[in-house]
Amino acid sequence: MRTLLSQFCESFEQVVRPLLDPLNAGAQALSEASPELPGREVRVQLLDLRHQFEGLVDKVAEQQAYVLIFGPLKSGKSTLMNALAASYVSEVSSLPAYPCMVYVSHGPVREFEVTRYSGKTETFSDPAALHMHIHRAHGELAERIREAEESGYDFDPALHYPESIRTVEVRLPAKDLDNSGAVLVDTPGLYSRMKFGYDRMTRDFRSSASCAIFIVKPENLFLEQVFEEFEDLLDLFSRIFLVVNVDSKKADLSPEGDLVPSLEQEDPLRVIDAFENLAMSAPLKEAADEGRLRIYPVDLLRAASARLKGNAGEDTEPVRGQAHFDAFLGDLTEYLNSTDYMMAFLGDSLRRATSLLDETTELLDHPSVEELRIKSDSLDTERQDAQRRRLAVQRLENYSWREAFEELDEKLAPTIRERSKRQSEETERAVDAVIDRWFGSDASFQVLVEDELIPKLRDYRDELTRFVRATLDEEVMPGTAGILLPTDVSADLYTAGIDLGAIGKSCLDEIDMEVAPRAIATPLATAQVPIRRSLIDWLFLRTPGKVRERLFGDQARPSARIPVELKNARIGKDGREAIRRELDLYKGRFFHETVQHIHRHIIGIYADAAVGRMATALRDRDAEFEVQIDEVVARLMEHRKVLAHLSTLKGQTERASGAVIDLTHEYGSTEPELLIQPAPAPEGMRPTLPPTGPITTPATPDPARSPTSPTA
């Protein structure tokens, strides 16, 4: 039979369970992210929320009755668990000082699952291996707590040591727990040195368990500090069972020296009466009067022994004080089977879901998450900027820089030609003057060529070289590399971060001015000078070559001194004109070739260097931007991956919050008796989340089953 309560449980699970995957995915993404990623500090809280949501949804789906057991160390919590489960479970509390929650439920085989704050789980089948594991973890935790104490900060295991144990889940064959669906929860012992986060553990469980059992031994019953903690529980649970763990064999010493039954053995109810009349605080008294607090004197050791033997099928005699345990068990059973508990179960589940959803929403608005969003936007802007710069580089790579620098050549050519023309005219006049002076002196032909003509030509070449270099420097040094560019190309250079002026100046340094000059060919040879032969030359049949040799000296080195009269007689006016004509022909070639060589050596080398340097700069900058973009994109994708998971979680949380409100409106005012009545048709009855992906439908709980006691 499908009841209204089972319908609620199904709807609740469909609303809450889809949160587990995005919580886990968000935590996993943060775990895999770089250490410097903003928001990593919320990973532990996400795992914590997932752990709590999972416990809540499993509890509702299975309609489990969680029974929390509190008490000081060595008060008998483990013994009580043995008695309630009618099975031996004390082995899980071999180290009761470890501050973790221990869940005991039915399972087909004995199994222990340890869950750490980091979310990591380990499963054990051997109690001895479990004990060794917890013992080692206990030592590690103690060391971390000592470090916190020495450093002066409040220790939080989720933040400061996520590898510490959070829960131990014990599953073992226990018929009574199987029949009832009850889960016994053993809490850390009060007054433990490791009692960190105790308030958080109990308050988080407030909406998962509506009743608690507090165990205390008679010798601690009248200690005020015990009930300082206990009074806190009154604000957390709607029903508390106070079990006074008496020793039914305890003896006292009589005045005669005999051992006589103690009051604890003889009449434990008088111990309770004394507590109620003499030591009970006003809050406890009020809770007892309202029926929220019930007190039972129980010999837990004997009760547990009887329960274990009873389950083993052995014949047992009535146990002294068994009635008190039966009364306690009966009241616990009655409460867990009551409509009051079912209403508390329903209301607490909704309140707990609301509380966890609010925590999730608050966590998603954490400053570090906002910092993550801001950083993601900044990285996206950085990516776009780098891509924009790289596109500018790629456009510049396609620009014809050779043509741009050829325009510089064309721009400077008229000025260089004009200067060359003026310089050549001056050189021609100087050469004419040199010829005239030579004919008026006794200097040799070698002096004419090497000491007069070639220096004049060299001066022309050097002066023109200096002029061309100065002209190029004048164009390049202002910072434009000597070229004019379209506005869009200049804009791309600025965007790409390419300093054209710096490239131009560096290329000027590559021009070696010492290499620019080239050897000047001999402008005039003796063979080009016409010689008049005398009568004696004709009589002695001297050839023109022989005559020249006698006049100028050796052809390779015409260093013979030639008097003025001999020059006029042998060379004369015709020879002078012939020399001028030969020099005119030479100068024409020389001036043209020199201009071309200097132009090519200075302007050409500069242009080649600038084109090459620009190509290298653009290639390097493109590679630089490629690496930058890859790095930024990798970081951006990491940020966006985490944000995508957090955004999915936020949307799922918002939808779940709305659905929980709908569930609260639908079931919050339901009459308790109606919860176990047949449910109407499911159409339109079940608020569900908008589809966000495939949802696995959980197994339908037993329609006739409601949360019950360990022995229901």
Q: What would the DSSP string read from start to end of 652-671?
A: HHHHHHHHHHHHHHHHTT--
What angle in degrees, to the nearest 10, is found between the helix axes of 605-667 and 20-32?
150
Q: Which residue has the tokens 């200067």?
A: 419
Whole-number pLDDT of residue 349: 85
Task: Report how far residue 176's alpha carbon sits from residue 391's, in angstroms, rounded to the nearest whole number.
Answer: 74
* Mean pLDDT in residue range 420-440: 93
Name the amino acid, one letter, at 337: N
pLDDT band at 702 (very low <50, low <70, confident <90, very high): very low
Kindly tell me if the per-residue pLDDT of 617 is higher than 50.
yes
The beta-carbon contacts of 559-565 under 8 Å, at least 24 apart in sequence, are 559/444, 559/445, 559/446, 559/447, 560/444, 560/445, 561/442, 561/443, 561/444, 562/442, 562/443, 562/444, 562/445, 563/442, 564/439, 564/440, 564/441, 564/442
Question: 252 by DSSP, 3-state: which?
Answer: strand
Contact by Cβ (8 Å): 332, 184: no
pLDDT band at 696 (very low <50, low <70, confident <90, very high): very low
* Mean pLDDT in residue range 56-79: 82
Kindly tell me if the per-residue pLDDT of 380 is higher than 60.
yes
* Mean pLDDT in residue range 490-499: 94
Query: Which residues are CB-neighbours of 238 under 8 A, at least 6 positions away?
Result: 210, 211, 292, 340, 344
Query: Which residues are CB-neighbours of 596 under 8 A, at least 6 positions away?
Result: none
pLDDT band at 20 (very low <50, low <70, confident <90, very high): very high
Closest among 184, 203, 294, 290 to 240, alpha carbons compared:
294
Task: Report how far residue 577's alpha carbon sits from residue 583's, in angstroms, rounded to the nearest whole number.
Answer: 10
Angle at 256 between CA 254 and CA 262, to 5 degrees: 10
Write the pLDDT tens digit of every residue in 400-424.
Answer: 999 998 888 888 989 999 999 999 9
Question: 310 by DSSP, 3-state: which?
Answer: helix
Kindly tell me if the per-residue pLDDT of 371 is higher than 90.
yes
Task: Report how far residue 568's alpha carbon sits from residue 368's, in angstroms, rounded to the nearest whole number.
Answer: 105
* Mean pLDDT in residue range 679-693: 47
Query: Which residues are CB-neighbours of 577 under 8 A, at least 6 positions away?
Result: none
CB atoms within 10 A of CB 703: 17
H or E element at residue 111: strand 111-116
Whole-number pLDDT of residue 703: 38
The beta-carbon contacts of 134-138 under 8 Å, at least 24 apart in sequence, are 134/94, 134/95, 134/98, 134/165, 134/168, 135/95, 137/98, 137/164, 137/165, 138/95, 138/97, 138/98
Whole-number pLDDT of residue 589: 92
**Buried-exposed string 86-101: b where 16+ CB fall within 10 A, e elsewhere:** bbebeebbeebebbbb
Starting from the edge strand earliest in sequence, which strands make up the sheet with 165-172, in order? 121-124, 111-116, 165-172, 101-106, 182-186, 65-70, 211-216, 239-245, 293-298
- Token pair listed for 617: 């700069």
Contact by Cβ (8 Å): 239, 336: no
Kindly tell me if the per-residue pLDDT of 553 is higher than 70.
yes
Write the pLDDT tens digit of every residue in 201-220.
Answer: 555 565 556 688 989 888 88
Closest among 177, 183, 197, 171 to 100, alpha carbons compared:
197
Q: Which residue has the tokens 């053993």?
A: 186
Closest among 480, 394, 463, 384 to 427, alpha carbons compared:
463
Kindly tell me if the per-residue pLDDT of 611 is higher than 90.
yes
Closest among 77, 75, 197, 194 to 134, alpha carbons compared:
194
Whole-number pLDDT of residue 140: 85
Write the pLDDT tens digit of every residue in 187-196.
Answer: 775 545 445 5
Where are the alpha helices (H) located in 152-248, listed in sequence order?
157-160, 175-180, 198-206, 224-234
Whole-number pLDDT of residue 158: 74
Count of CA atoms in the C-beta half-sphere (13 A) of 35? 0
More confident residue, 443 or 705: 443
If 0-12 CB within 10 Å is exposed, 13-18 middle and 19+ buried, where does residue 666 land?
Answer: middle
If 0-12 CB within 10 Å is exposed, 13-18 middle and 19+ buried, where does residue 178 land?
Answer: middle
Contact by Cβ (8 Å): 39, 372: yes
Kindly tell me if the per-residue pLDDT of 447 is higher than 90.
yes
Task: Report how far residue 399's alpha carbon sits from residue 488's, in angstroms, rounded to the nearest whole number.
Answer: 11
Beta bridge pairs of residue 167: 101, 115
* Mean pLDDT in residue range 99-105: 81
Task: Report how far residue 664's alpha carbon sits from residue 488's, in angstroms, rounded to the nearest whole number.
Answer: 65
Whole-number pLDDT of residue 628: 95
* Mean pLDDT in residue range 653-676: 83
Write the pLDDT tens digit of every residue in 317-366.
Answer: 555 567 788 888 888 888 877 777 777 778 888 888 998 999 999 999 99
Task: Report how far residue 633's alpha carbon sits from residue 285's, in angstroms, rounded to the nearest whole number.
Answer: 66
CB atoms within 10 A of CB 417: 12
Mean pLDDT score of the chain, rounded to an integer?
A: 82
DSSP 708: -
Closest among 355, 357, 213 to 294, alpha carbons compared:
213
Question: Positive or negative CA dihedral for 491, 493, 497, 501?
Answer: negative
Whole-number pLDDT of residue 653: 96
More confident residue, 282 or 488: 488
Whole-number pLDDT of residue 91: 60
CB atoms within 10 A of CB 627: 11
Of the chain, the percentage scoring pLDDT greater than 70 comes to 85
Task: Report how far residue 224's alpha carbon sits from residue 312's, in angstroms, rounded to the nearest whole number.
Answer: 41
Q: Parallel, antiparallel, or unpaired for β 251-253 and 259-261?
A: antiparallel
Closest among 193, 162, 188, 92 to 133, alpha carbons compared:
92
Angle at 554 between CA 548 and CA 555, to 5 degrees: 70
Whole-number pLDDT of residue 251: 65
* Mean pLDDT in residue range 455-466: 92
Q: Which residue has the tokens 């979680």?
A: 649
pLDDT band at 96 (very low <50, low <70, confident <90, very high): very low
Whole-number pLDDT of residue 180: 65
- Token pair listed for 311: 């389950």
Write the pLDDT tens digit of every residue in 123-135.
Answer: 988 888 888 888 8
Kindly tell me if the per-residue pLDDT of 698 is higher than 50.
no
Supply the Cα-derived Rg of the chain in whole angstroms: 53
Whole-angstrom CA distances from 117 to 31, 53, 161 are 13, 14, 8
More confident residue, 238 or 37: 37
Question: How would you classify residue 693: left for phi > 0, otherwise alpha for psi between -120 and 50, otherwise beta?
Answer: left
Contact by Cβ (8 Å): 7, 682: yes
